Amino acid sequence: MYIPPAFKDDIESIRATIHGARLASLVTATTEGPVATPLPLILDESEGEHGVLYGHVAKANPQWTLPPIGDALAIFSGPDAYVTPSWYATKQETGKVVPTWNYVAVHAYGPVEFFQEPERLLDAVTRLTNRHEGARAKPWAVDDAPADFIAAQLRGIVGLRIPVVRFEGKRKMSQNRPEADRVGVAQGLAASENALDREVARLVPRPV
């Protein structure tokens, strides 16, 4: 991922983006070309130097049967929004402005291991479920379902484990624009009816 110095994200923000992402994309290079699967992933920071990603794919998904060439890539996206040049003070001054897009993105790289052991699969799906059910008033738990039913469901998936060897984090939030332009972008996005635009507005650096 191309990351100009102004947009390079720090490790704590990178981890926060991963933990906040609802869906990731797992990409592997194979002899048949690149293969990608959208799926939820969780980062276990207690394992390894950079943490370990866990998730699973359907057993019918051919991605896990194709030997990967090199490291796998997991892509996580944060908030994003279109930025119109009409919000820039510079538009009134020189007219030398163009549209752009503000966004947060994280790429995580590492060797991918696929596994089918029932106890490992159960641990992975339990942790993933707890991660997304935890905030609910009445969270559903894996053991709410009959054990034989869960065992049958586990036979239909393949787990994956990626020890992360490096992260790339990009936070493009108009940091390269003059202060007046950043203020205009933040105000314009904050006035949007789109909730995602308003979330991006809060990330644009501006004077306190």
d(CA 193, CA 201): 12
Would 113 be classed as within a structural domain?
A: yes
What are the strands, taking DSSP E only, across the chain?
24-30, 33-39, 42-44, 52-58, 72-83, 100-110, 113-115, 157-163, 166-172
The tally of domains found in the chain comes to: 1
Asked if residue 95 is part of any domain, the answer here is no
3-state secondary structure of 169: strand
- Tell the burial category of 94 from Cβ atoms under 10 Å away from its Cβ (0-12, 13-18, 19+): exposed
pLDDT above 90 (res 206)? no
Range of the structural domain that residue 14 is part of: 5-80+101-176
Residue 196 lies in a domain: no
Local confidence band at 189 (pLDDT 50, 70, 90 cut-offs): very high
Residue 21 is part of a domain; what is its CATH number?
2.30.110.10
- Domain assignment present for residue 206? The answer is no
Phi, psi at 42, each rounded to 5°: -120, 150
Residue 93 lies in a domain: no
Q: How confident is the model at residue 10 (pLDDT cuts 50, 70, 90)?
A: very high
Q: Which has the minimum average pLDDT: 116-125, 128-137, 187-196?
A: 128-137
pTM exceeds 0.85: yes
The reply to whether 148 falls in a domain is: yes
User: Would 192 be classed as within a structural domain?
Assistant: no
Handedness of CA 84, 86, 90, 94 (dihedral sign): positive
